[in-house]
Amino acid sequence: MAISPNSILHFTKRRASLEKILEGFFTTHYCKEVFELNEAKYKLGIPMISFCDIPISNITSHTDKYGNYGIGLKKEWAELNRINPVLYMEKESSIAKLIEPLIREVIVNDKYGSFRTSLIEERNGDIVTIKPINDKDRELKINAVIGQLSFIKNYKGVLKRKGKPDILDYKFYDEREWRYVPVASEISDGHKYYDSIMSEAEYDIWRGERLSKKKNIEGTELRFESKDIDYIFVKKESEIPTIIKAIRKSKNIYKNNEELDLLISKVLSLERIKNDF
């Protein structure tokens, strides 16, 4: 059996969320990530869509934590959409010690007060001129650090789950995560400003204290078609007819009855997987 499957998988806790995905696209939202690198600790909001790279025979421990409804898509589709495996990092490793000073320089010790600062004041007597910062070295460092943080995950840490006890020393490495992170220059015009990274305080404001679910980031949809799908997962065998009805209604992802029939054949229940794999 191959260690790495030919599909990447995305799971969610609600069947309604899977039905929404089956309209032909994923939506991006911010996730709070905790980075422990060397002696430093950062909590930041990272925009992403997460997938896992786990053989179907091993997915039940993953679905127990992240939901029993999901979809598997071909890795060729992932590659075309620049979805990438994350870099798992032990917090005391040599690479953590090497990159953390650069992260601290950009995130904490920016010479203009904040790495978000793009305009500065120049004074000539009583005349104040506001001008853009033209510092290519600084811009390269900021982009490099944001790129690193967007695809870094600690090897292990605390897994927090809503309504359930935290899991201490959880091995995130076992998830074999892949991520889609939007590129700011490619986001659809006409949508509100996109933050490529958020502080913890900014994330908490964005999430909102009373929101029951995370808000989507407009203009960052990740689209797919029936040919890109390898699997569709539901929790129980009894839910298969319901999800088939949802697939039939979703005419954005299939072009004809042949594609529809093939798509329906890809529906699996976790009940069957637990019994047969």
Residue 211 has pLDDT above 70, yes or no: no
**30-39, 86-95, 178-187: which has the minimum mean pLDDT?**
178-187
Q: 3-class DSSP state for residue 71?
A: strand
Which pLDDT band holds residue 192 (cuts at 50, 70, 90)? Answer: low
Q: What is the largest CA-CA distance in the chain?
A: 79
Q: Which of 217, 218, 208 is nearest to 47 (CA)?
A: 217
pLDDT of the residue at 188: 62
In a domain, 96, yes or no: yes
Neighbours of 118 (CB within 10 A): 10
pTM: 0.90
1 inside domain: no
Residue 148 sits at the vertex; the CA angle it makes with 118 and 66, to the nearest 5 degrees, is 115
Distance, CA of 245 to CA of 243 (rounded, Å): 5
What integer is the mean pLDDT of 238-256? 93
Averaged over 106-133, what is the pLDDT? 86
Task: Judge whether residue 213 has pLDDT over 70.
Answer: no
Per the structure, the count of domains in the chain is: 1
Lowest mean pLDDT among 165-174, 192-201, 232-241, 254-263: 192-201
Structural domain harbouring 83: 7-276
**Position 2 in a domain:** no
Residue 191 has pLDDT above 70, yes or no: no
Q: Please report the pLDDT score of residue 42 as a whole number.
A: 95
Give the H/E segment covering residue 148: helix 136-150
Asked whether residue 219 is assigned to any structural domain, the reply reads yes
Whether 171 is covered by a domain: the verdict is yes
| Local confidence band at 120 (pLDDT 50, 70, 90 cut-offs) | confident
pLDDT over threshold 70, residue 210: no
Note the residue count of the chain.
Answer: 277
**46 in a structural domain:** yes
Strand partners, 270: none
The answer as to whether 167 is a domain residue is yes
Q: Which one has a higher pLDDT value, 183 or 79?
A: 79
| Domain assignment of residue 135, yes or no | yes
The confidence band for 212, taking pLDDT boundaries of 50, 70 and 90, is: low
